[in-house]
A and B are shown apart, each in its own frame.
Chain A
Amino acid sequence: METLVMPAINFAAIMPETILSIVAMVLLLLNVFVPGEQKAYLAYLSLIGIVVAFFSVVSGWNAPLPMQEGFNGSVLQDNFSLFFKAIFLISAGLAVLISDHYMVKEECNYGELYPLILFATAGMMLMASGTDLMTIFLGLEVLSVSLYVLAGYNRSNIKSNEAGLKYFLLGAFSTGFLLYGMALTYGATGTTKIAKIASAAALDATLSSNPMFVVGMLLMAVGFSFKIAAAPFHMWTPDVYEGAPTPMTAFMSAGPKAAGFAAFIRVLMVAMPTLKADWSDLLWILAVLTMTVGNIIALSQNNIKRMLAYSSIAHAGYALVGFTAGNGEGTAGILFYMLSYAFMNIGAFAIIILVGKKGEPNNNVEDYAGFGVKHPVLAMIMALFLFSLAGMPPTAGFVGKFYLFSAALKSGYVWLVVIGVLNSAASCYYYLRVMVYMYMKDPVEEFDWMKLSPAIWASIAISAVGVIVPGIVPSIILQLAQKAILL
């Protein structure tokens, strides 16, 4: 009997994931053992877990290589994944802060929400640090399965049911494509490890014209495009975003989108640089389609959640512009943009939650008429988020877009940048339309929300700071992002 050699494990490489999973399991048990309808304590406990995980992420920054690698090369907690993990934790934390208020209002205050958010976040982290197709797949599924439930969380609401079911059916369908792509890549290279795929492709020049390898890359791109909601794989997004409980829409648009980008970038840039000619053309088309489809359809939307869903498709398109560039600046731009997008989008959704009544009958743009007169402070903050989404200075949205587009220019994609800028200009229309209603129309009805919870205020304040500070002094975040690129 041959003896086995234990592969290097290194639990430090999955510390944040472990912390979140343990906290999530404890919360799951607390939820069934502690009686009572009051679930806010679960929110605060999960916040503690998120903060502890955040410290573990911070402490891993710039760690030496042996400390980053774990589980026989299946995970790599490098700066790239740490930056993404910070984005996931921030969006999870903000989502937790805005949840309790909403869930009480909509009478679906079951405590499982918080463990599910934490599990989804752990899945995202695994996706970002996975350096084995297996790990990436598992992370993606932990994330997706949690998100299907979160989308359909308000189980007595027909819209939420539909959102969950639709997301589930289309998500599982796209998983099939992703998986088939992984299988073909495995067949072509004989390994599922990202680094080994890259070295196999570098050693064997015929591999880059091997149909199995190329089709594998294409199918994986389809799967990831679905997760980041890139056109033409965006069909699920509007319905799911509109139907899902608003805090979960906010969470979905920030964290999982970034996670999709993390895995997508790592697979294409690290494992398949030999196919760069193929995938940069593909990304070019995806970026143009995604920006244009998202912005044009958003112009005609009246429901504000649906409008932000199309806007989120368009924002994936802007990030794809940076990805198409295929250089370090582009990656740094995506990192910066995903972080600012988490702040501005969750902030905007937090205000939508405050304005929304039970059952969300008043989520249309017209319902914001006179908001600026009745609630000047909130309206001003909402305007800030909308300015940032539209990409106007001095907000983080402007700086992020600037870096993404200049990275693409540097790689010579002039037309792509022109289309991007035109799209960005078109998007101003629908963001400014909300502002026109807020400031230039008379209020139709009262804004009668429940008593403002301090948690929502905290999330709005944090988001506002997260939009303004990187907008004025972008160098702090940008320097971190530049240390986090994959090169």
Chain B
Amino acid sequence: MLEKYLILSAILFSIGTLGVLIRRNAIVIFMCVEMMLNAVNLTFIALSKHLGNIDGQVFVFFVMTVAAAEAAVGLALMIAFFKNRESIDVEDINVMKL
């Protein structure tokens, strides 16, 4: 049973990673990051159940709160960026170049 959960979370994590690399909208990219974090949460829960050890569940609580804090900060940064550029497309994050 554990394998199935681990495979599912690995697939979710990969979808999230691909999304970050492919998508262009900063909010969608952040949603993909959240998906990666939740894939990790699934891994933790499955392992916690399998090992009969509560640590994994405790970890998930912290990951959730941290993700919320990141979401708040991320949205704030996007709002600040949008006010100056009228866009949140990552193609427009380009003032500084090599």
Contact = CB atoms under 8 A, between A and B. Distances in A.
A145 B69 contact: yes
A168 B26 CA distance: 10
A172 B55 contact: no
B58 interface: yes
A471 B15 CA distance: 51
Most buried by A among B17, B77, B80, B85: B77
Nearest to A193: B55
Given A145-B69, A169-B26, A162 B44 contact: no
Contacts of A265: none
A173 B34 CA distance: 9
Interface residues of A, number: 41
A172 B33 contact: yes
Contacts, number: 124
Given A137-B62, A145-B69, A186 B47 contact: yes
Contacts of A182: 59
Contacts of B59: 133-134, 137, 182-183, 186, 192
A183 B38 CA distance: 12
Interface string A134-169: 100110010001001100100110110111111011
B33 A165 contact: no
Contact of B47 (A159, A161, A183): A183
Nearest to B53: A190
Interface in A233-247: 238-239, 242-243
B63 A165 contact: no
B7 to A, nearest CB: 13
Interface in B3-18: 6, 13, 16-17
Given A152-B80, A186-B56, A192-B59, A168 B43 contact: no
B32 to A, nearest CB: 9
A306 B59 CA distance: 37
Contacts of B85: 158, 161
A145 B73 contact: yes
A165 B43 contact: no
A170 to B, nearest CB: 9
Given A169-B26, A242-B96, A184 B43 contact: yes
Interface of A: 133-134, 137-138, 141, 145, 148-149, 152, 155-156, 158-159, 161-166, 168-169, 172-173, 175-176, 179-180, 182-184, 186-187, 190-192, 238-239, 242-243, 297, 306
Interface of B: 6, 13, 16-17, 20, 26, 29-30, 33, 36-37, 39-40, 43-44, 47, 50-51, 53, 55-56, 58-59, 62-63, 66, 69-70, 73-74, 76-78, 80-81, 83-85, 90, 93-96, 98
29 contacts: A134-B58, A145-B66, A145-B69, A145-B73, A149-B76, A149-B77, A152-B77, A161-B77, A162-B81, A162-B93, A165-B81, A165-B93, A166-B93, A169-B33, A172-B70, A173-B20, A173-B36, A175-B33, A175-B70, A180-B13, A180-B36, A183-B43, A183-B47, A183-B59, A186-B47, A187-B50, A190-B51, A191-B53, A192-B59
